Structure 1
């Protein structure tokens, strides 16, 4: 997709169509073990759930049905990415009690929606994630669900309890909406573990947390605050929130000033944006910088400019994506202490309690790694948890893999490196094989860049 044509990826995610609530379906049986206990598996705490027995839980089988939403996945993966198929099993769609109504999926207009997938052939594990950006529960079906289901894992994803460009309107205090993301992820993890036990007869032997962007932030937060629930995690370009900075509100105002003609390239470099990423800036001006700055500023600092985003982030794609001119002058450091207190409620510390692998593209033009994962890696080291962390910089990687389709000569998808990282995490946790040391993963000069990525040879288990 060229920048001058079509709907920007972020817009597609914000204005994705409404799906009807799935009617319970029993697919043609695939052997005697297909979907036993279908009606007996109940998700603890759910206000509503619908179960279906399906011949294929991957997007190959679900595309065009109410059991996934391809529009909400727009831009996250590159065309030509190979994905597995043919994983029969049970899918449970539902929601937990919640007062907000941003998620229109299935025509419910009800938040705290989730999806749980239970393959017939189970390997004893569970993978949990939360939606990236302002997307919803099916957003990472192609990027994450397909692969882990094919490996035999049960899978659970949450919409984080609020979503869309107006998510900041949820809650009563600044920071409430983002704080709910963490609560909903913990809630789903606990409930999914019990649902897994009902389906298979015992709790998962291993539970992994993972995610992209905001889902990566959730991974970091969960491993810091609830390590008892997980065995490890993979963080794909997670957002960084720290009370004193850096965070999105310290880097994005410089980007907004630049797009409004009030900043120099040098200012963006100083804010952490990488030299060499300039070709991506026009797209991010169109699709990301303005809307991201204004909605997070509205979430944590609503008093700054009550007129913007105003009663709504916007009723049209143009209004949603447009920046607020006042955000070009936003100075996080000079804002009242209450703003930092709001961010502190959701801030990261680096004190992870389980193994974590972080991936970040060196050309990320939304969450530049110099102001994000580089900082987080130092936080982990400073907390004395460096032995639990590995950090890989992906040369040519940017925030969404879909941009590879526009710039195949300059970018590389991160997804194949993510898959390698997940395999490395499993080997680390389950076999004691330590991943390679922190390193930069170079873009190969040839080969299948779309579907392969070697992090390098693993290190053998340490003696004793």
Structure 2
């Protein structure tokens, strides 16, 4: 959970400008690298491939050769779910500052309950090559025990949003020190839980950003569709295809259900039920959100659709974890036609791009759509200036 402290950690950049500080950081380590992309950071030990395993198709080709400075560290926190670097300390972050800067900044939070390097292959490599500074947070808690962080139901997820805000403010200060001026534009991007963070920031902290790209964000809604509603329905119905489709999973996605039933549906339901409704002791398939009404916890993290800056959402029509009909279709309705929102339903896309290789020719990779949509966001924001 967040600890109110006002520490400023000083650091010197070898071979570069000295005296950079990360406002609020308790610990930092900095390095000048010949290549900030995963092509270089895997070899140098400045990323962890396990963080981004399964998030992209094997045939993906990424840019390489982006020299600059990497800062790793953590903000004050009391939880210890993240063991990266042997720190055993949550609220870890990474900041990357390319030498050839384009004036922009991209901030991310991680998908699932992964650690701070989870977006390195899918997002960081791409935006660094375009000249953006990049920052990512572990969201303040990680792993299957993330729900043990905090004192009240909903504390752990609520912290995710605060940690993104914290990192955004700190990185803007670092960027200004490094390059002599503040970012001309700041974007937020994320996948799954990271997409949820994009939505929440643009609804509640829009003044910090110029726009956002949400890749199949998780929908948290006080009343109505959220994963504590449809995942129990799917669990109870499976393997009956009509019942699973009634839970919101698309016709044509049946070949994906066994994998998701085995690895994701029950686990995901249990993790978030333990976070938001920890007193429930029944079977995951028997959970009834409307009856349980964990409204006090969900209200702290719920989305409203009231975005204040341009947002692009992309979501696959065959998503078999967060079915499109009960997540992004619903969020698009919540946003409505009068706010700055664009929505791309990707035919044949699934929640996990890593499954593209397991089902050749049957799934549309989402990563190329993400890259196209990022370019669209850049042009859209520029046109509004």
* TM-score where L is the length of structure 1: 0.79
> CA offsets, 1:108-130, max 9 Å, x none?
11000000000000000000000
Match of 1:60 among 34, 39, 56: 39
The answer as to whether partners of 1:247 and 1:371 remain within 8 angstroms in 2 is: yes
The answer as to whether partners of 1:36 and 1:199 remain within 8 angstroms in 2 is: no
The answer as to whether partners of 1:25 and 1:54 remain within 8 angstroms in 2 is: no
Q: 1:198: which partner in 2?
A: 177
Match of 2:279 among 291, 303, 326: 303
Question: What is the CA–CA distance in structure 2 between the aligned matches of 1:40 and 1:429, rounded to whole Å?
Answer: 33
Match of 1:47 among 26, 46, 62: 26
The answer as to whether partners of 1:131 and 1:158 remain within 8 angstroms in 2 is: yes
Kindly report the root-mean-square deviation, in angstroms, between the aligned alpha carbons of the 2 structures.
1.4
Query: SS of the residue aligned with 1:146?
Result: helix
Q: 1:211: which partner in 2?
A: 190
Q: 1:74: which partner in 2?
A: 53
Question: In the alignment, does 2:331 pair up with 1:376?
Answer: yes
Q: 1:326: which partner in 2?
A: 283
> CA offsets, 1:8-44, max 9 Å, x none?
xxxxxxxxxxxxxxxx995xxxxxxxx621x421110
Q: 1:273: which partner in 2?
A: 249
Match of 1:399 among 337, 345, 351: 351
Q: 2:259: which partner in 1?
A: 283
Question: What is the CA–CA distance in structure 2 between the aligned matches of 1:114 and 1:36, rounded to whole Å?
Answer: 21
The answer as to whether partners of 1:217 and 1:238 remain within 8 angstroms in 2 is: yes
How far off is 1:80 after superposition?
Answer: 1.1
Q: 1:13: which partner in 2?
A: none
Consecutive unaligned residues of structure 2, counting only runs of 5 or more, are 1-11
Question: What is the CA–CA distance in structure 2 between the aligned matches of 1:245 and 1:52, rounded to whole Å?
Answer: 47
Question: What is the CA–CA distance in structure 1 between the aligned matches of 2:20 and 2:132, rounded to whole Å?
Answer: 17
The answer as to whether partners of 2:52 and 2:117 remain within 8 angstroms in 1 is: yes
Match of 2:308 among 326, 343, 353: 353
How far off is 1:432 after superposition?
Answer: 4.2
The answer as to whether partners of 1:135 and 1:164 remain within 8 angstroms in 2 is: yes
Question: What is the CA–CA distance in structure 2 between the aligned matches of 1:432 and 1:410, rounded to whole Å?
Answer: 38
* TM-score where L is the length of structure 2: 0.95
Question: What is the CA–CA distance in structure 2 between the aligned matches of 1:144 and 1:111, rounded to whole Å?
Answer: 22
Which aligned pairs between 1:43-442 and structure 2 lie closer than 5 A? 43-259=22-238, 264-305=240-281, 326-336=283-293, 339-381=294-336, 384-385=338-339, 388-432=340-384
Provide the aligned length of Structure 1 versus Structure 2.
Answer: 374
Q: Which has the larger radius of gyration?
A: 1
Query: SS of the residue aligned with 1:42?
Result: strand
After TM superposition, the runs of 4+ consecutive aligned structure 1 residues lying more than 4 A away are none
Question: What is the CA–CA distance in structure 1 between the aligned matches of 2:124 and 2:144, rounded to whole Å?
Answer: 24
